[in-house]
Structure 1
Amino acid sequence: MQIKSATLEDVPVILSFIRQLADYEKLAHEVIATEDSLRKHLFGSKPYAEVILSYLDNVPVGFALFFHNFSTFLGKPGLYLEDLFVLPEKRGSGIGQKMLAYLACLAKERGCGRLEWWVLDWNEPAIHFYQRLGAQAMNEWTVYRVTGEALNDLAEQWKSA
């Protein structure tokens, strides 16, 4: 198995993995990402995130998309793992664990104080996998999100102030 940083040429593979992850999470209807948007935001003049790909026998079998965040309490950057996906037929072979270990090593190399991610509360296989790695659920936190029309409305409040 190999893990490599994704390149511009990998955009079709990345989008394919995003769509497969969305299918698994029953969220395919929410995917509006395109190859063009991924090229722009992952490999353009100001990249907003990074991607690693895992390979078995030179065939891509998984991906992880991540970016830096910042902990005010630690006074250090962190890595936030947005998505981790391994092809269903390759799960259980240690690929996901190796990808997380790679990201943990990268976080340490970059002086990050933590590596964090979200998991859907119904995804028991993932929850058990993460717990076996020593990850702890942050149950006292509730995620909030502003998107779509609510995001537009909130932005308008600033413009009209």
Structure 2
Amino acid sequence: MTLDSRIRSATSADIPEILRVIRDLATYEKAPEQAVATDTDLQAVLFPDHGHPSTFCHIGEIDGKVAGIALWFLSFSTWTGKQGIWLEDLFVDPQQRGTGLGKALLASLAQVCVERGLTRLEWCVLNWNTPSIEFYDALGALPQDDWTTYRLDGDALAKVGGARA
């Protein structure tokens, strides 16, 4: 796989910078208090002591410094019988936007899909995030308006998870 020279796979040493970017993203998305992930949490999913990682991260660098991330995991389509990539977070530092780094990060994930025969690259974007929506539209990505994302978390998750029939 030939990647943009600014894109590389994350290493364990990148975890503090990945956390910084995650917190910057949470602030941008107006929910900084929800970014509670720790170094230990990321170490466990990205670089586990045993077994295979469940989550992956591509790092975007400019002038040797982390300027963006694409944090992702494998998904599965029962209809195609193939895996895909779910892009959990894509974020480029505001001062580095317009450099092509975001497009390079997405292109690196598209390359993974093509090379591995994965059928989809999917993600969510907040409805108010017009700059990102315009960026995705310009790439040819299509919104999936027929679906609504649901989430169980917090007390609701505990209630449903603790319920016994």
TM-score greater than 0.5 by the shorter chain: yes
Q: Mapping of 1:1-161 within 5 angstroms? A: 1-44=5-48, 45=50, 46-157=52-163, 160-161=164-165
Distance 1:114 1:38 in 2: 24
**RMSD of equivalent CA atoms:** 1.0
How far apart are residue 87 of structure 1 and its match?
0.6
Mark the runs of 5 or more structure 2 residues left unpaired by the alignment: none
Give the count of matched residue pairs.
Answer: 159
Distance 1:88 1:57 in 2: 15
How far apart are residue 149 of structure 1 and its match?
1.4
How far apart are residue 101 of structure 1 and its match?
0.8
Instruction: Give TM-score scaled by structure 1 length.
Output: 0.95
Instruction: Indicate the SS of the match to 2:7.
Output: strand
Instruction: Indicate the SS of the match to 2:71.
Output: strand
How far apart are residue 54 of structure 1 and its match?
0.7
Identity of aligned residues (%): 46
Instruction: Indicate the SS of the match to 1:105.
Output: helix
Cα distance per residue 1:22-53 (max 9 Å; x no partner): 00000101111011111112211342210010
Instruction: Indicate the SS of the match to 2:42.
Output: helix
How far apart are residue 3 of structure 1 and its match?
0.6
How far apart are residue 84 of structure 1 and its match?
0.3
Instruction: Give TM-score scaled by structure 2 length.
Output: 0.93
